[in-house]
Amino acid sequence: MSLNVQEIKSFLPSDKPYKRYDSGGLYLLVKPNGSKLWQFKYRFGGIEKKMPFGAFPEIGLAEARKRRDRARISVADGIDPMRERKREKAKIRLGAENTFAVVANSYIEHKMVGEGRAEATLKKARWFLELLTPAIGNMPLDDLDPQMMLAALKKLEARGNLETAKKCRSFSSRVFRYGAALGLCKSDPTAILQGALITPKARHYAAILEPDKLGQLLRAIDDFECYPVTKLALKIAPHIFVRPGELRHGDWSELDWDKAIWTIPAGKMKARRTHAVPLSRQVLELFRELHSVTIGTGYMFPAFHTWKRPMSENTINASFRRMGFTKDEMTAHGFRSTASTLLNESGLWHPDAIERALAHGDSNAIRGTYNRGQY
């Protein structure tokens, strides 16, 4: 006889668990503590198995029978319902562990850090993740499709952040390729989105390109009153053409006083190649002066309040503004454009030598290898 609800409610606990059968392999297990648990008994591959369906009354009689019927259909189709349930649970658990945010963090902390990427590059990658997290951070990597990714990127675009949206797409693409390599997703849904985003207009860093105006800037730097480390950064920067981040993160251990060379390790360089900066006697003297006003170890250009952090990325640009040069006239990065323009116009230097001084690699990898020490 099949069970009915009133009968189930009347079952009282005993010293030992006991079973009360319904039909089709479904039964109720009544335990000494009073709990009543639905179970389904079936045979698969010649082996008797049991599958729990939950507790009564949370799972009613009608719902228990529905679950039994679905399980019986699976068995008839040659599918083990218990194994399928475990697989689904594992998939859900794996999805929670492999959300976009989790995989992106793994990509940054394991791959990018492991490859020795510059701290500025890591900081930017973490920022991209921070921007994307509200929209897709908690979604399993394999559930994300091109439309979801486009919607997330379009939100950034709508704020006018065209370049940021483009770079977030590129960052997401690297995360998906990393995830695919680990078997966490099948493909990169951002691959087809390149043409779907608005292409930002190229933006160039403001730079002084006229010799007379450059002279005005250099004289303004000489007359500028500020923190000694800032003053020396402003005086050294025009001599060596490095990027602002490379300048700020310079370490005294990288400078060879005898050979007058500052060797910036690959991990701090944009192109991931070690860069040697020859130092003229004038700039070497400036570095000696800088050495005397710092603790002489760690950062060459420490922050004002602590030796443990580098100078702020805004320090040099803020100094230009205080000197009266607007953001459309000159920037810290602009010294590289100034150097490239005036050195090339002078006709005194081989173009390849100028490119090496700017840490621009050879487009031909083999030629770049042979030309490495030529200049």
Q: Which residues are catalytic?
A: 243, 270, 333, 336, 360, 370
| Backbone phi and psi for residue 13, each to the nearest 5 degrees, phi listed first | -65, 155
Q: Distance between CA atoms of 182 and 346, rounded to whole angstroms?
A: 53
**106-143: string of b/e by CB count within 10 Å (b at 16+)?**
bbbeeebeeeebbebbeeebeebbebbbebbbebbbbe
Residue type, 228: P
Closest C-alpha among 194, 104, 186 to residue 150: 194
Q: Rg of the chain over CA atoms, in angstroms?
A: 33
Residue type, 356: R
The helix/strand/coil state of 263 is strand
Type and span of the H or E element at 349: none
Q: Distance between CA atoms of 358 and 342, rounded to whole angstroms?
A: 13
The helix/strand/coil state of 50 is strand
Cite the DSSP H helix spans in the chain: 5-10, 61-76, 81-97, 100-106, 113-114, 119-136, 146-158, 162-181, 211-223, 228-240, 244-248, 281-293, 315-323, 334-346, 351-357, 365-370
| Beta bridge pairs of residue 30 | 18, 36
Closest C-alpha among 32, 34, 28, 33 to residue 8: 28
Q: Is the peptide bond before 57 cis (omega within 30 degrees of 0)?
A: yes
Distances (CA, A) of 180 to 90, 237, 271, 292: 18, 43, 26, 52
